[in-house]
Structure 1
Amino acid sequence: MSRTTIPELLPDDACGTDCPGRHEHAPVSGSSSEDTIAAIATAPGSAAIGIVRLAGPGCAAILSAVFRPLSPSFSGFSPFRLHHGELLDVSGRPLDDVLAVFMPGPGTFCGQDMAELHCHGSPAVLAEALTACCAHGARPAEPGEFSKRAFLAGRLDLSQAEAVAELAAAPTADAARLAREKLSGALSTAVSALRERLADLRARACLAIDFPDEDVECLPPGEFRAEALAVKDELASLAANFARGRLAREGALAVLAGPVNAGKSSLMNALLGRERAIVSDAPGTTRDYLEEPLSLDGLLVRLVDTAGLRETEDHVELVGVRKSRELLQRADLVLLVVDGSRPLGAAEVALCREVPRERLLACVNKADLSPCADDPLPRLTESGVLAVRVAASTGLGLDELSRSARERLLAALPPDEGRPAPNLRQQRCLTRAAAELDELVRAVDQGLPYDLLGLHLEHACDALDEITGRLTAEDVLNRVFADFCIGK
């Protein structure tokens, strides 16, 4: 079982990533899709290659101003072909050997003319390249502005635009696969099909309202109710898959818990393959929690070492114990670390009662030592707790622990039936639509008129339209694209 540590999943300012809360840029007042925009499209830091991206009607002119071809046969930019030449700074002096490409619209990502400069990946060179482009008529791009232009041009719907950011930010292969699925239109197709079924119900309701005394085709209340429930169930299934996407994008919260000196910190270090937590024989060494990312065969886990659970009068340690209790309530998986060289204590028994069995995995540590007469492992398994024997000091049992932890986390998810995984915004829209259909069913049961039924259907359709961007307020769009990085 592979356990891969991830020292840093994403830098706080990583370009091209979906990083909610990390950008505080507000949309530029008076900005227009007719402006030519420019941005560094690659991540901060030194690299072999760095890219400056442009979009808008002035791309060709700006590219001609900052790029000097080195080929004597150059007679103009051939669309979608790389040309070798020199990057010129704001003073017209050569700065770097680069490759330049011009991509005429509308067959581009944004639907507009686009261009790119492929420079050496020096941050100073890229900054000078961006400055030169802006000196010749471009303006700095806002967060997500390239993707927003693609959405406004009809190249992507809103769920696909969000998938672009999710794919760029994917911390694991599973997250990338789920994002790519949405980028291909899987969520849009599913949502649009359900919306069409609701639109058909709305049309039937309108017939009943407009022609109450005519013999027109209108579903009787029973069939109307059955179709609404069928769509609601489909919406609920889609919304439930949010948990799978969240796990892939954000990782599961796995909390190491137990009494002092059971070996929680040692086990954390063994799983990470490095000394992250301080290990000492002194009780209460860990007073605050430590969190580190860990990959279990591609499943992202946020592993947390917590303060030992015990009665204490030390104020600092007491705060740590309180935080540990809070983390236990939020955890997707609690790894109860038990000292296998001594009998099961009251703290372990109490924690087994406190945490639901499906979220609990006991790690009977110190298997390299002689077990005590009252071996805790049989007692745990007899009480229905899944338990594995490990030795943090030697690595014994770590593969079995990793495999069991992964299986337990995945077992808590809804079955993977190939459905796309919505993000939080999309899941809330699906939940709102399903709630409107619940209200509609109650209205049918109460014998309320078709005009009230139609109102619930209208609200449900509006909620689904917010997913694809078919009907989305400008402030919602601004919030969505503000969470992108500049350059994407």
Structure 2
Amino acid sequence: MSAARETPADTIAAVATPPGRGGVGIVRVSGPQSRLVASRLFLSPRPGFSGLRPYILHHGSLRAPSGRIIDEAMAAYMPGPGSYTGEDTVEFFCHGSPAVLRAVLAAAFAYGARPAGPGEFTRRAYVNGRLDLSQAEAVAELVAARGDAQADMALVRLSGGMGQAARELGLALDDLRASVCLAVDFPDDEVECLPKKSFGAGVSAVIDRVETLLAAHRRARPFREGARVALFGRVNAGKSSLFNALLGTDRALVADVPGTTRDYLEEGLDLDGLPVNLTDTAGLRQTLDAVEQAGKARGLALAGTAALGLYVVDGSVPFAPDAEAEELVAALGPDRVLGVVAKADLPAATPAPGDILAIRGLESVAVSARTGHGLAGLLTAIRTRLTRDAGLPEPETPAPSDREAACLVATRDELLALLGDIRDDLPYDLLGVRLEAASLALADITGETSADDVLNAVFSKFCIGK
């Protein structure tokens, strides 16, 4: 049963460009009254102007209900269904002043539009059949993309890649359901009855295709969500200097005074398409300072959840293990810890701290935040660690979102249970119940059976104006 798609009867408007000043700002109006709103708002200097023509940029002025000219602007009218939303849409390209955009939007409201909610333009595109739910979700992912890799994955889904994959799986399940129906309706016709061995093979083939998509989801997750990399170690080991050097900016305060970093700092870093949340934690030492103790505890807790911990040690002084650092290393395990021997521009201590880390089973990289020595190698080592069990899907291969992966898991689980029912030689009519449940879970990917609460959850993640 498909979700109801009722065409909205009202007209909405919103600023479609990010907050703040810019060269150009866009106000979008969509709905049955959008052309009427535009006729009241837009003034053309051309004699004999008869209204906005479809798919043509018109130059003119925008006026408030009081008659005051708000801005000089361009206007474009896109009649439905050939617009983004599938309904009549007008966009005004104004100067990017927040004051101007507020005034244009206020005038649009006065002329009959209402404020658009988060994602309401894209939701109307879904309702009007311009996008399936997977494509609509990809719009939000593309808007929020932090790097080329995430943008490329979103574009594959926006082009319909995930919806196509779901529909192909759905067709395979439909073929199996047809075989079940024949077996139920004509139980005595041996020609029409699909042998259960063949039926099980067909189910297994669908499961294999589902597992391939789930594997793509798991491998792509770090590229989609980013990974936390936390620097930890004793005070004055060089963590904050390294933090600044990796970011290429003086983000963290650096001083020789122990306890300078009293709380964690976090900044984004792009590692060749892999988004990383780089975190600098407070230095570890015994202290009676309550604020420093609290900051240290927060840093340790955060580092414990990191995809990778950078254990920073000072390479110019003899290695001195810290109990809390050692406890964190043990908790993360060697696969999630990379040693960093800092201050490589200074004479090395004896024995070398890197050798001691190696004895403890930790790979390490020697770096100098001051000269830049070893930084490129460290970044390569970080990316290699983070992508050891991850990787971008092949071009044109869809990587499901978390929501879509949940639908695929539900589909797979029903089909695995169906294989058990086949082995138990259950009758075909009961097998058909499992197939129906798997088909419904799969259809939720494109929104064919999605309930309102699912749709609300998807579109609530959008910004206003998209």
**Range 162-171 or range 326-335, more displaced:** 326-335
Residue 35 of structure 2 is aligned to residue 57 of structure 1: no
Please name the residue that 1:377 is paired with: 354
RMSD of aligned alpha carbons: 2.2
Deviations 1:113-158 (A, max 9, x none): 1111111111111111111111111111121111111111111100
Q: 1:227 to 1:266 in 2, by over 3 A?
A: same
Please give the secondary structure, in 1, of the residue aligned with 2:27.
strand
Normalised to the residue count of structure 2, the TM-score between the two structures is: 0.92
Please give the secondary structure, in 1, of the residue aligned with 2:269.
strand
Which amino acid is the alignment partner of residue 245 of structure 2? A
Contact 2:342–2:367 (Cα < 8 Å) also in 1: yes
Q: Structure 1 residue aligned with 2:385, among 397, 402, 408? A: 408
Please name the residue that 2:204 is paired with: 229
Identity %: 50
Residue 402 of structure 2 is aligned to residue 424 of structure 1: yes
Specify which structure has the bigger relative contact order, considering alpha-carbon pairs within 8 angstroms and separated by 6 or more residues.
1
**Unpaired runs of 5+ in structure 2?**
1-5
Q: Structure 2 residue aligned with 1:169, among 144, 169, 174? A: 144
Distance in 2 of aligned mates of 1:409 and 1:373: 31
Please name the residue that 1:486 is paired with: 464
Please give the secondary structure, in 1, of the residue aligned with 2:445.
helix
Please name the residue that 1:23 is paired with: none
Which amino acid is the alignment partner of residue 412 of structure 1? D
Deviations 1:405-424 (A, max 9, x none): 12221222156334312222
Please name the residue that 2:413 is paired with: 435
Distance in 1 of aligned mates of 2:287 and 2:413: 47
**Range 316-325 or range 176-185, more displaced:** 316-325
Q: Structure 2 residue aligned with 1:205, among 165, 180, 184? A: 180
Report how far residue 429 of structure 1 moved.
Answer: 1.2
Please name the residue that 1:456 is paired with: 434
Please name the residue that 1:387 is paired with: 364
Please name the residue that 2:103 is paired with: 128
Contact 1:207–1:216 (Cα < 8 Å) also in 2: no
Report how far residue 401 of structure 1 moved.
Answer: 0.8
Q: 1:219 to 1:258 in 2, by over 3 A?
A: farther
Distance in 2 of aligned mates of 1:139 and 1:436: 44
**Range 417-426 or range 344-353, more displaced:** 344-353
Please give the secondary structure, in 2, of the residue aligned with 1:241.
helix
**Range 149-158 or range 392-401, more displaced:** 392-401
Where does 1:73-92 land on structure 2 (aligned, <5 Å)?
74-92=49-67
Normalised to the residue count of structure 1, the TM-score between the two structures is: 0.88
Distance in 2 of aligned mates of 1:151 and 1:329: 41
Contact 1:333–1:360 (Cα < 8 Å) also in 2: yes
Which amino acid is the alignment partner of residue 105 of structure 1? G
Report how far residue 361 of structure 1 moved.
Answer: 1.7
Q: 1:110 to 1:396 in 2, by over 3 A?
A: same
Distance in 2 of aligned mates of 1:69 and 1:349: 72
Residue 284 of structure 2 is aligned to residue 306 of structure 1: no
Distance in 2 of aligned mates of 1:312 and 1:265: 19
Q: Structure 1 residue aligned with 2:84, among 102, 109, 115? A: 109
**Range 32-41 or range 235-244, more displaced:** 235-244
Please name the residue that 2:43 is paired with: 68
Report how far residue 205 of structure 1 moved.
Answer: 2.1
Where does 1:351-362 land on structure 2 (aligned, <5 Å)?
351-362=328-339
Q: 1:299 to 1:212 in 2, by over 3 A?
A: same
Report how far residue 385 of structure 1 moved.
Answer: 2.7
Please give the secondary structure, in 2, of the residue aligned with 1:435.
helix
Please name the residue that 1:4 is paired with: none
Q: 1:105 to 1:32 in 2, by over 3 A?
A: closer
Which amino acid is the alignment partner of residue 133 of structure 1? A
Please give the secondary structure, in 2, of the residue aligned with 1:51.
strand
Report how far residue 88 of structure 1 moved.
Answer: 0.6
Where does 1:310-329 land on structure 2 (aligned, <5 Å)?
310=285, 314-329=289-304
Q: 1:193 to 1:451 in 2, by over 3 A?
A: same
Which amino acid is the alignment partner of residue 466 of structure 1? D
Q: 1:46 to 1:366 in 2, by over 3 A?
A: same
Distance in 1 of aligned mates of 2:199 and 2:292: 60
Report how far residue 462 of structure 1 moved.
Answer: 1.2
Q: 1:112 to 1:265 in 2, by over 3 A?
A: same
**Range 340-349 or range 432-441, more displaced:** 340-349
Which amino acid is the alignment partner of residue 405 of structure 1? I
Please name the residue that 1:17 is paired with: none
Report how far residue 278 of structure 1 moved.
Answer: 2.6
Residue 12 of structure 2 is aligned to residue 34 of structure 1: no
Please give the secondary structure, in 2, of the residue aligned with 1:166.
helix
Runs of 4+ in 1 over 6 A off after TM superposition: none
Please name the residue that 2:225 is paired with: 250
Please give the secondary structure, in 1, of the residue aligned with 2:243.
helix
**Unpaired runs of 5+ in structure 1?**
1-30
Where does 1:144-293 land on structure 2 (aligned, <5 Å)?
144-293=119-268
Deviations 1:430-472 (A, max 9, x none): 1111121222222223333323322222222111111101111
Which amino acid is the alignment partner of residue 354 of structure 1? A
Distance in 2 of aligned mates of 1:483 and 1:256: 31
Deviations 1:283-307 (A, max 9, x none): 3433322111112233211001113
Report how far residue 85 of structure 1 moved.
Answer: 0.7
Which amino acid is the alignment partner of residue 307 of structure 1? A
Contact 2:300–2:328 (Cα < 8 Å) also in 1: no
Report how far residue 368 of structure 1 moved.
Answer: 1.0
Contact 1:360–1:385 (Cα < 8 Å) also in 2: yes
Distance in 2 of aligned mates of 1:138 and 1:385: 62
Please give the secondary structure, in 1, of the residue aligned with 2:453.
helix
**Range 378-387 or range 117-126, more displaced:** 378-387
Distance in 2 of aligned mates of 1:282 and 1:233: 58
Distance in 2 of aligned mates of 1:343 and 1:45: 51
Please give the secondary structure, in 1, of the residue aligned with 2:387.
helix
Report how far residue 329 of structure 1 moved.
Answer: 3.4
Report how far residue 41 of structure 1 moved.
Answer: 0.8
Residue 349 of structure 2 is aligned to residue 363 of structure 1: no
Distance in 1 of aligned mates of 2:177 and 2:320: 62
Distance in 1 of aligned mates of 2:201 and 2:290: 59
Q: 1:143 to 1:350 in 2, by over 3 A?
A: closer
Please give the secondary structure, in 2, of the residue aligned with 1:411.
coil
Contact 1:34–1:57 (Cα < 8 Å) also in 2: yes
Contact 1:50–1:120 (Cα < 8 Å) also in 2: yes
Report how far residue 314 of structure 1 moved.
Answer: 4.6
Contact 1:167–1:175 (Cα < 8 Å) also in 2: yes
Aligned length: 458
Report how far residue 244 of structure 1 moved.
Answer: 4.6
Please give the secondary structure, in 2, of the residue aligned with 1:346.
coil
